[in-house]
Each structure stands twice: as structure tokens, then as C-alpha cells.
Amino acid sequence: MEQMSLFDNGLGSGGIPPEVSSEYEGLVKTLNYHAKRYYDEDTPEISDYEYDMMNNRLKTIEKEYPSIISPDSPSLRVGWKASKGKKVKHNVPMLSLQDVFSKEEVYEFVNSMREQLGPDTEFLVETKIDGLSMSLRYDNGVLTTAVTRGDGITEGEDVTENATQIPDVVLKMPYPIEYIEIRGEVYMTRAAFEAVNEAASLKGAKTFANPRNCAAGTLRGEANVTKERGLSLFIFNIQESRGRTFKTHSEGYEFLRKNGVTTIEQYFKCNTADEVWEAIQKIGDMRGDLAYDIDGAVVKLNDIEARKTLGNTIKFPRWAIAYKYPPEEKETKLIDVEVNTGRTGRVTPVAVFEPIRLCGTSVSRATLHNQDFIDEMEIGIGDTLIVYKSGEIIPKIKGVNKDKRPSDWRPYKLPENCPICGHKLVREADAADLKCINLNCPGTVVNGILNFVSRDAMNIKGMGYELVKALVDGGYVKDFSDIFTLKDQRDTLIENKVLGLAKNTDKLLMSIDSSVASATAENVLSGLGIPNVGKATARELLKAFKSIDNIMDAKAEDLSAVEDIGQISAEGIYGFMHDEDNRALLLRLKAAGLNFESRNVVTSDVFAGKTFVITGTLPNMSRDEATKYIESHGGKVSSSVSKKTTCLVEGADAGSKAVKARELGIQIISEEELLALGGS
């Protein structure tokens, strides 16, 4: 079956090099994926700076090859389609701003405006708040509607109820006019953000990545939560007005402040490019002293009529730009390296350095990731590190100033044994991470149990984090096997109200019994948390050895003979299976009735020798069902795309795997095409 591409429709013959078409297609997919995470889901995976750099590359390609522009290019979109709550039509588009990253681009903009409008042209330079855009509409001074940007052109989300819970939102203006719509940025101070994350940590709940995403998720959530979290608002523009006109932007600010509206705090009036650049530098210097995050400085015309004359592009006003500051970085001395064993068993080195202030907060720690990262950076105790903040919140190590290296310098090496339990650490195959494989390690027991009871493993419904932690802290569960003896402690669990009512306790015990009856050997093996042994590898092992007992007795060389199990993985599995504590635990699990025998059934070999990757949401099959279908026809399913991948099965909302598959020229098929290839 011949692979089809979104960009095969004549672009290759239009003088565009194939490698450029491939790069462009990957950029469109990747940027749209991250934009959805940012705007729609409030769960970004990369920093604004990383996104901006990719977006700049996309714009460069589009400028050089205009015919390549795709209908779904991020360059043609302002925000993201509103997907939650009641929708509201925009009266005035809530456009984005053209981002610039250099002094030359700032001068080019300012001088262009002066050439078109005259030497007396006045600019305002003000802080660019890192938050969520929102417009407020007032009839005769009374707030009627609050709406988010949404797609920026057509519609946004109605957040009126939540907006009324923000102290900075004026509900009734004392000096009203017939109608006014004002636009601002909803944000969180760093203090408010830290309080929310601290409270979430105490509850064992998920924390937010940065203040912007916390503010966005809060504004679009429940009104009572909005009130609790302490959101703030700065207004930066008058979108539309009736009953009064404003000659300048600054005059509009004066009117709004008279009505108690909180407008942008820091702004400078300028005439020349030198003055504008000086104002940008001043704002940059004060970043650390502000109580909130800014990610740039906005340069805009002060004259309203001049703005109307210049108008807008499909995405940006022509009368304003946003200068984006590069990530802030400083030097500091590395004092120590802490080594922590996390809940997954992964060992993480953390740099402890002399405190420095970045983006307004004091930082003294940053992850060193793994030994490969440490070796690549050539890091040793006493080194002078270069630290920066990613996305205005996460400190990262950029490098080392080797000119300031101490005379007794030595490269840092991670310990060979777990810092908590002392077991020898194992390196994951095709990765740089070290893991503690001791199932009884205090640092890993809670998360190890959560993995064991998860849907892809034993599928014990009702065993979430809070319950597992309570069972471990209470001494009811010390390892996996104790889960299957909880029925012997039923009365004690009810008496101590570990799960609340007797009904809840019995429901959990029934779920445990059900999992014993239904779980396969593959579920058991993949749930053990052996490094590099997920469901796919567990299936391959059981195909080869037929039972967990045989795997326990296998030699390392026999394990490495299994397809796609390398020497490092084989040694890790062998080490796990021959650890005295782990073997004792496995015997207890078998005695509890868990299935150790393979049930793999192959109905045909039509996919023999082929490797598939599944990504996105398929229309009719779950990912597990698709995996079983492929394997029942002799194929193999991998979790990652590589040159060994035969086909990628693509569903809705496919992410980076689809991008990589296209870059590698791998055949991409739908669920329907998969079934056709399998003969169904």
C-alpha cells in the first residue's frame, strides 16, 4: 500500500526541495500539537522559547516558498478553537502580536512607523504579561460578558461567572459610558502560584507547570476554585467603545484607571528607536523585581487613528510588535549533587548550587538528568554552572564556565548502588537512566504498586494513589503479594476506615479477586516494573519462554536471543529475576493464584516480520485491541518510531510519533487499512 502525504499534491514539483517539504510538514504537525497542549489543554510540554524558535523556522520556510503554506499552518491561526463551555462570538477580533527577537527587528518596526506616520510618532512600550487573554464587555458601566480569546477571530469561551471572582475585575464602573469592551491578561502572581502548588502537593494532587497554565486552567474551571486561587488581571487595550472616543492609548488608560480598572503597570512613552530600545532594556532589567511573570515587552502606537489607518493582517495588528526576551541566565557555584530514587525507581541526580535569583525567584537546585548529561557537560563539584530558566519557571543547566574550574576538579560520577536501599542500580537499555530494581525499596514501593495494579497490568479498579499510600503507610501492604492477602484483614480495614464504609472495602476485595481470575501472564510480567519490560516486551518474552517460571530460570544469553532484547535489557531482566528478594516475591505471587503461563494465540502470519507503532485515538479499536489484533496476525507492536518500524497506525490527534514517521518516510495507515491488510 503506497503511503500518501498531505504534501504530495504538487508541492514537490514546485521547485521546493523534498527535504524542505518534509521539514515543513514536521514543523506544522509539531507546532499544532504543542499549540493544542498550550491553548486547549493547558498542559505545555515545551517552553515558549522553544516553540518560538520552531515557529520562526516555519515562517522562514513560508517566506521563501509561499506555495508550501498549508491550510492548517500555525501562521494562519491566532489562537485555538474554543472547545469548552458556552461559546461567545467576538465583536472585535482578539488578535495576536508579531513576535520579534532582536534589536534590529525592533528598529526596523519603529523606523517603518516613523517613515509612514512622521517623526512625531509616539510609541508606548509596556510589559507583556504571561497569562490568558480575556475581554470584558460593559453596557452603561455594568459588566455583562467575559470571553476568552478562543480562536481569536470567530469565537471564544464565556467565562463571565469565573471572571466575577477575580478581584481586579470591575463589576460596575462609577463613570460609565454607553458601551465599552476592554481586553486584558489574566495571570497569577508567583506567590499565588506557589501557594496553589504547595496545597496540591500536600493533597498528593497534580501540580501546575507554571503560573500561566494554572491561571488558564483555573479561569476555565469551576467558579469556586477561581475564587480560591487568587487570579489577577491587567487590562492592556480598549477594543471598542460607544459614547466616548479616545485619541490615544494612554488617554484610554487614564479613563480606565478613573473607573477603578487595573491597567498595565509599567509603560514608557517614546519617539525614537533608541528610546524604544532603552525602554525594552529597562523592562527587561525589572523582570526579577516584578511579582509576576512577563515574557516580553510590547511596542505599540499611541495614536488610535493611526492604528485604524494601518489596520491588521489576518493574524496581527500592523501597529504593534512584541519583543520576546531570551531565557534569563546566571552563573553560580556547584556545591553538591543529591541523588534521589523516585517512585518509578529512576535515580535522578540534582545539582545543589549557591542560590541565585532568576526571573524574580531564588533558585538553588536543578536536575542533572543522568550520567550522560553530566559527562556531556563535563560537570564536577566546585564547577561554575550557567543556569537559566525555561518557560520562566524551571531552572536548567546550560553549561559550565571552565575558565573558573577549581584546580582539584574531578568529573562527577553517580553511585553504583541505590542511595535508599543499597541495591545495585541497573541502566535502562537505549537510555541513560539508572534504576533501582528492588521491588521492596522504600523509595519505589508506592509507585511500583500503582504500576502493578494499573489498567495495563493487574487492572485492579479502585486502587488509586491515595488508597495505595494509605495501605503502605498503614503497614497493610509492603509489596505486591500483600495486595492478595488484604481479604484476611477485611475487618481491620473496616474498623480503621482505611477505605471508608464496609461496602467500599468489599468492592475493592472483589476487584482484587477478579483481577486474579482475569489477568494474563503478560499483565503480571509487565506490571513488575522490570526495566525495559513493558507490555510489548513481556509479550515477546512469553512467546519465547511460554511462562514466567521459564523466564526466571533463563540465562542472560537466552534472554538476549529474543527479538529486540539487547544485551543491556537481557542483563537487567536476568538480574531482576535472580535477585533473592524478587524471586521470593514472585513465588508469593504465584502462590496467590496469579497466572504465570502464556496464552498467546496467533491466528495468521500475515504480519510476520513487520513492526507497527500505534498513535492517536482509533475510531473503533482501543490501542490494546489493535495491539492484540496485530500480534494475533504474527506482527509486533513497538512504542516508539524508528527505522525498523514497518507501519504507523494513525488515529485522531496523533502527535510527535506521526511527525517522526513522516520524517523517516514510514508507511502511515488508518485502522481501516490495518484491518484490510490483516484480511478482516
Which active-site residues does the annotation give?
128
Residue positions counted in the chain = 680
The interaxial angle of helices 580-591 and 567-577, nearest 10 deg, is: 70
Residues 538, 560: Cα–Cα separation, whole Å: 13
Distance CA 468, CA 96 (A): 46
Decide if 240 contacts 179 (C-beta within 8 A).
Answer: yes
Beta strands in 492-604 (DSSP E): none
φ and ψ of 235, to 5 deg: -90, 135
Cell triple for 46? 515545551
Count CB neighbours of 627 within 10 A.
20
- Determine contact, residues 470/498, Cβ cutoff 8 Å: yes
Classify the C-alpha dihedral 487-493-498-502 as positive or negative. Answer: positive
Chain centroid, CA 626 distance in Å = 26
Each residue of 201-220: b (16+ CB within 10 Å) or e?
A: eeeeeeebbbbbbbbbbbbb
Chain centroid to Cα 171, Å, comes to: 35
User: 3-class secondary structure for 229-281?
Assistant: HCCEEEEEEEEEEECCCCCEHHHHHHHHHHCCCCECCCEEEECCHHHHHHHHH
Quote the cell numbers at residue 597: 503461563
Q: Give 202's contacts (C-beta < 8 A, 6+ positions apart).
A: none
Beta-bridge partner residues of 187: 232
What is d(CA 670, CA 655) in angstroms, rounded to the nearest whole number? 15
Is residue 125 within 8 Å of residue 215, measured between CB atoms? Answer: no
DSSP 37: I
Contact 674, 649 (CB under 8 A): yes
Closest listed residue to residue 96, CA positions, set 161, 151, 22, 166: 151
279/292 Cα distance (integer angstroms): 19
> What is the three-class DSSP state of 518?
helix
The CA distance from 179 to 304, in Å, is: 18
As given in the structure block, the three cell numbers for residue 202 are 500536600
